Amino acid sequence: TERQREVILAHICAENALIQTKLERRYPALGSEIHSCRQIDQVFDVTVQVLSTANPGLRRIKSEVGQNGVSIISLSTVIGRY
């Protein structure tokens, strides 16, 4: 179905954003950034938020993907100091 296709493509964008943060090999600064992600014929808005946790050695990274102002999927992970 079209919805399933949209969710799969958005999931790829969300995973790529989290992987990119991990590959930077630095402790991420708090804050958020927005960029676009193109998959096949779809363009998605990706918001990556870096949030603090109760443990100062860990940061929560949240990747939310949407289209036309509607959220499609959200993934999170935790990154520690290297």
Complete DSSP assignment for 5-37: HHHHHHHHHHHHHHHHHHHT-SPPPSEEEEEEE
Kindly report which listed range (9-18, 19-28, 46-55) carries the lowest average pLDDT score: 19-28
Q: What is the pTM of this model?
A: 0.89
Q: What are phi and psi of 23, to 5 degrees?
A: -70, -15
Q: What is the pLDDT of residues 25-66, one digit of tens each?
A: 889 999 999 999 999 999 999 999 999 999 999 999 999 999
Q: How confident is the model at residue 82 (pLDDT cuts 50, 70, 90)?
A: low
User: Of 65, 69, 50, which Cα lies nearest the Cα of 15?
Assistant: 65
The span from the CA of 9 to the CA of 4, in Å, is 9
